[in-house]
Amino acid sequence: DPFCCDTEWDQICADEAATLCVPPCPCQWDLDGNCAVGPSDLAVLLANWNQPYGPADLAALLAEWNCSG
């Protein structure tokens, strides 16, 4: 809402921001965007092996397995 950004933050703007603004996912290896690290992220990594992911990335993903936000 341009009013909220340019003029004033009122309760309507605060409520809208709380609904629309989701905190970022703490899981670095959440490759599929569901804010968790699991089998689907492993599938993305393996499907992109050497383009750009490799052995170090696999180790990092497995170290973060079951991370959720």
Q: Could you give the CA distance from residue 30 to residue 36 in angstroms, rounded to a whole number?
A: 6
Q: Which pTM was predicted?
A: 0.67
Which pLDDT band holds residue 58 (cuts at 50, 70, 90)?
A: very high
The share of the chain scoring above pLDDT 90, in percent, equals 61
Of 56, 60, 23, 24, the closest CA to residue 41 belongs to 60
Q: What is the pLDDT of residues 23-45, one digit of tens each?
A: 778 999 999 989 999 999 999 99
Residue 67: CB partners within 8 Å, gap ≥ 6?
A: 26, 27, 29, 30, 36, 37
Q: Could you give the CA distance from residue 25 to residue 40 in angstroms, rounded to a whole number?
A: 16
